[in-house]
Amino acid sequence: MNEVAAEKVAWRRRNVRDHYVGRLAAGGGALRLVGREPGVGVEVALTIPFEEIDDVRVSEGLDETLAGEPCVVVEPAHSAPIFVREVGPGRLHTTELAARLKGLTRRRMR
């Protein structure tokens, strides 16, 4: 991965209660989420090729939140959406992060 999209993020799939805390990178034609589940420490990594992403947008409504806050929704073509938001000091506003990710995915898909 050659471009970091966000240093510290929380993320989860739709309809999954637990979330992971880690980082989000983009490069090599894909988004990559790496994180650890805070409760038990399980580590996971998820790579989504840009061509498999149908849309990136800001969440709409209470059923699309992450830890009770608005988030970015990454919609893969053939699987459940992934909710992402930056955490910690200096974090980007949700709309800024969505625009950054959408720009990264669209620019590299061409």
Q: What CATH number is attached to the domain comprising 14?
A: 2.30.29.30
Q: Reply yes or no on whether the pLDDT at 110 is more than 50.
A: no
pLDDT of residue 102: 86
Q: Reply yes or no on whether the pLDDT at 109 is more than 60.
A: no
Q: What mean pLDDT do residues 14-21 have?
A: 89
19 and 33 Cβ atoms separated by less than 8 Å? no
Q: How far apart (Å, rounded) are the C-alpha atoms in residues 47 and 92?
A: 22
Of 110, 82, 109, nearest to 98 (Cα)?
82
pLDDT digits (tens, 9 = 90+) for 70-93: 999 999 999 999 999 998 877 778
What is the chain's mean pLDDT, rounded?
A: 86
Task: Name the residue range of residue 31's domain.
Answer: 3-109
Q: How many independent structural domains does the chain possess?
A: 1
